[in-house]
Amino acid sequence: MAILIDTDVIIQAERGLFAFDVWLDSLSEQEFKLAAIIVAELWHGAERATGAHRTKRQLFLERTFATFECIPYDKQVAFAHARLWAQLESSGKMIGDATAFQHGHAVATFNTRHFASVPGLQVILPQ
């Protein structure tokens, strides 16, 4: 089982608010990956940035993306996402992505409440 890294973890690392490398090193036996939707969310932020901040953010993200395998948002993930979305929506909850769920991976996030409603998904709070 791999650990998928959520958007907020990468953002906190970029801002210097989280010792990302230290946390990764503390779990060196784990395999970490990124979901394609997370790559899109992060790059969207880079595209919206301006000036030197844009360049700095793009360089940080390019280095980050090169470090981790990217799991595509394929048809099977889309079906799992739609099933979870319908299930959770009927109970008044939402989920942004189902890549971790579909592939049997955990998700590392500071926004644990967002993912807590997904049945069977292991949610890890980075520390």
Q: What is the CATH number of the domain that holds 7?
A: 3.40.50.1010
Is residue 118's pLDDT more than 80?
no
Supply the range of the domain harboring residue 65. 3-124
CA atoms of 15 and 82, how far apart (whole Å) = 33
pLDDT score for 94: 61
Closest CA to 15 of 61, 48, 47: 61
pLDDT digits 0-9 by tens, 9-67: 999 999 999 999 999 999 999 999 999 989 999 999 999 999 999 999 999 999 999 99
pLDDT score, position 18: 94
In the predicted structure, residue 96 carries a pLDDT above the cut 60: no
Residue of 92 and 10 predicted with greater confidence: 10
pTM of the predicted model, to two decimals? 0.86
* Helix, strand, coil share (%) of the chain residues, nearest 5: 55, 10, 35
Q: How many domains does the chain have?
A: 1
